[in-house]
Amino acid sequence: MWRSCHRLRDGGRRLLNRPVGGPSASKSPGPTIPSPARAYAPPTERKRFYQNVSITQGEGGFEINLDHRKLKTPQAKLFTVPSEALAIAVATEWDSQQDTIKYYTMHLTTLCNTSLDNPTQRNKDQLIRAAVKFLDTDTICYRVEEPETLVELQRNEWDPIIEWAEKRYGVEINSSTSIMGPSIPAKTREVLVSHLASYNTWALQGIEFVAAQLKSIVLTLGLIDLRLTVEQAVLLSRLEEEYQIQKWGNIEWAHDYELQELRARTAAGTLFIHLCSESSTVKHKLLKE
């Protein structure tokens, strides 16, 4: 299944030295979805002001300590997370910063701040509806009518994921070449709403975040269920873009930077979902091993 995707990516790299330009391939008819408003736009950088990072368990969960100061959210709430594993991951983000703190690389911290402060004041039902709404504009449900090579590529790479999701959840997910988008049965929405209701609000924040990166709830579900790796999901979400890069070329450093950034955000969001869905404490015996 992945051969054509990897050929596409490798072919694109070989063509990067070609002049950029020329007519573009037909665009997918799907509308451009505005990403959900990010809860915070953290400051870009600042000088590191702490030496050591540690975690402690308090009454409300696990806390992050920067030297002897407890980490706070942008709304000045105590930064407390529900699981030890998530606390360790966040502490690792802070500890890995060098002389300069690069906040834009700390995706787990940002997601925790969003969950703690809830600046948009959304409840669990609203988070679920926001995630399911991605079905209306899901990347892999919008298809082109030409050129035939791209039509075939979309069919070969996206159809198996749709078929997996339909079988996994017992639903019907259609694709379409119409600007109006695919017709999604009401039952499909109901089933996915019921499935997402099994997640807590923290995990739902992560699900919406990943769906916004990939522009696809179907690919997001594939990631959560371990049907896809992060690299596969990102490549599938960029299928048309990678096709056009192969055809017309691109600036190598810009393409690689964008790709790595998308992978980093998607990986962090997926990790966040899993860490928010697991037990609250880590078995220290496993850590020692």
- For the stretch 137-163, pLDDT in tens is 999 999 999 999 999 999 999 999 999
Tokens representing residue 109 in the block: 């911290």
Q: How far apart are CA 121 and CA 199, in angstroms?
A: 18
Q: Which residues contact 201 (CB under 8 A, 6 or more apart)?
A: 115, 123, 124, 127
Distance of CA 52 to the CA centre of its chain: 30
Burial of 269 (0-12, 13-18, 19+ CB in 10 A): buried
Q: Which residues contact 120 (CB under 8 A, 6 or more apart)?
A: 37, 39
Q: What is the pLDDT of residue 257?
A: 85
Read off the amino acid at residue 108.
L
**β strands within the chain, DSSP E:** 45-47, 53-58, 61-66, 69-70, 80-81, 100-102
Q: How far apart are CA 118 and CA 216, in angstroms?
A: 23
Question: Model-level pTM?
Answer: 0.82
Q: What is the pLDDT of residue 12?
A: 39
Q: What is the pLDDT of residue 199?
A: 96
Quick one: the chain helix, strand, coil %, rounded to 5?
A: 55, 10, 35
C-beta of residue 233 within 8 angstroms of C-beta of residue 219: yes
Q: Name residue 56's beta-bridge partners.
A: 63
Q: What is the pLDDT of residue 274?
A: 97
DSSP for 147-198 reads -HHHHHHHHHHHHHHHHHHHHHHT-----BSSTT-----HHHHHHHHHHHTT
Q: What is the pLDDT of residues 196-248, one digit of tens each?
A: 999 999 999 999 999 999 999 999 999 999 999 999 999 999 999 889 888 87
Q: What is the pLDDT of residue 281?
A: 55
Domains in the chain with CATH codes? 53-117 (3.30.2180.10), 124-287 (1.10.3580.10)
**Cα-based angle 29, 214, 279 (whole degrees, multiple of 5):** 150
Low-confidence ranges of the chain (pLDDT < 50): 1-37, 283-289
